[in-house]
Amino acid sequence: MENNTLLELVAKAQSGDRDALYQILNQFAPLVKKHSRSVGRSDREDLEQSIHEKLTEKILAYDRSRIPTLTEFIHTLEKEERE
């Protein structure tokens, strides 16, 4: 298995690579499990499935072109500090 960054995996998933999508979902699996413990046992599987569906939807729709450069990010932080 390749060692891809999350953004690389998103790009691959958006290009139809199901393995990349599964890798992303697996990275978030511990967090999904943690939050599913907030409901009763009988509802956990349904909640986890709903979260995976929503994550898949968001991954496939994510606009990678809107990621700021480091300079843009720093300017945003500086602007927020002044406000």
Q: Indicate whether 81 pLDDT > 90.
A: no
Q: Indicate whether 3 pLDDT > 60.
A: yes
Burial (CB < 10 A; 0-12, 13-18, 19+), residue 55, is middle
Tokens of 79: 């602007």
pLDDT tier at 58, thresholds 50, 70, 90: very high
pLDDT tens digits for range 36-47: 888 898 999 999
Q: What Å distances lie between residue 41 and 37, 44, 55, 77, CA to CA?
A: 8, 5, 21, 42
Q: pLDDT value at position 2? A: 64
pTM of the model: 0.74
Tell me the DSSP string of 11-50: HHHHTT-HHHHHHHHHHHHHHHHHHHTTS-HHHHHHHHHH
